[in-house]
A = this chain, B = another copy of it.
Amino acid sequence: MKALVLRSPNQLPEYTDTDTPIPLPGQKLVQLHAAALNHRDVYMTQGLYSRIRVPCILGSDGAGMCDERRVLLYPALEWGEQTAAQGKDFRVLGMPDDGTFAEHICMPSSYVFPMPDHLNWEQAAALPLAGLTAWRVLFSRCRLKSGEKVLISGIGGGVALTAMQLAIAAGAEVFVTSGSEEKIEKAIALGAGAGANYRNEGWDKQLKQDAGGFDVIVDSAAGDGFSLFPALCNPGARIGVYGGSLGKVNGLSMQPVFWKQISILGSTMGSPEEFDAMLRFVGAHRIVPVVDTVFPLEEGAAAFERMDRGDQFGKIVLKIA
């Protein structure tokens, strides 16, 4: 079969022929029709990931056919028994296990889920990792309720956009931040109430004035800007954190955190049960993930380069068949 294979930690994956996998007992062979990129995949090609095994087929997100059904794959393996946190054997799909940037993949049958009917292959492939991460941080961790006000930072990435869509569907009023006016406009077109450009001096005070306080903030940047969030919070607010792309947090005053009873809640991907709940919610609300661009599998290197530039709005998808 054809696949994008990582042969060395410091280069782009290679489009090449490799053996079609054979399912073990308890596994299903899935014929993939589309896959999607995540930042994790790019980090693998830049030596920014510690436990690289090569050769390895990258990719966590995949949609395809299995037993004549359209299916979506849980984007990880071995969450474990606890809902509070993943177990020691947890791993994201696509390293060290072979992933979805290929014509076929073998997956434990319990990780193969029906694909929401209203989506096409590219839209469906855009959903798993971003949707699961957004679901867990919003609902399992921050316990978002209808009518609450939500701020989502760095709109444009897959998790942030999906979190925005899920929160709007759940009845929340959603505001966004970005460094790009164009992304803010696109988010408003998708249903955000308003947005703030964090490159503008005093954006936080202006946003607080426009929006009032927030009940839930969802962030994956961390860095020094994180310290502005508690002042934007309502009493009892939750700040969900699923990344730290801008580095360590400095200058964080705990006074508003304790006085307002704020919760800062770390979150990653979730369990298969959370994945199932997310898919049902997406189906019931007919949410369509935002696709930035679609590349054929053989042009995977170009997809990686677009992801690395970071100016996408929505998911970068690979069309496989």
Contact = CB atoms under 8 A, between A and B. Distances in A.
Interface in A182-240: 222, 226-227, 235-236
A48 interface: no
Contacts of A260: 85, 266
A254 B261 contact: no
A321 interface: no
Interface stretch (A22-30, A170-178, A245-253): A245-253
A164 B226 CA distance: 31
Interface residues of A, number: 35
A84 B253 contact: no
A86 interface: yes
A309 B67 CA distance: 74
A31 interface: no
A132 to B, nearest CB: 14
Nearest to A249: B252
A252 B260 CA distance: 20
A263 B262 contact: no
Most chain B beta-carbon contacts within 10 A, residue among A235, A236, A260, A266? A266
Contacts of A264: 257, 263-265
B257 A241 contact: yes
A49 interface: no
A267 B262 CA distance: 8
B254 A252 contact: no
A85 B249 contact: no
Nearest to A254: B244
Interface in A245-300: 248-268
Most chain B beta-carbon contacts within 10 A, residue among A82, A227, A258, A268? A258
Contacts of A86: 235, 261
A235 B85 contact: yes
A255 B248 CA distance: 9
Given A84-B235, A249-B249, A241 B261 contact: no
B263 A268 contact: no
A304 interface: no
A243 interface: yes
Interface of A: 82, 84-86, 141, 222, 226-227, 235-236, 241-244, 248-268
Closest 9 CB pairs of A and B: A84-B236, A85-B235, A244-B254, A257-B266, A258-B266, A264-B264, A85-B236, A85-B261, A222-B254
22 contacts: A84-B235, A84-B261, A86-B261, A141-B261, A222-B254, A243-B254, A244-B253, A248-B250, A248-B254, A249-B249, A249-B250, A249-B253, A252-B252, A257-B264, A258-B267, A258-B268, A259-B266, A263-B263, A263-B264, A263-B265, A264-B264, A264-B265
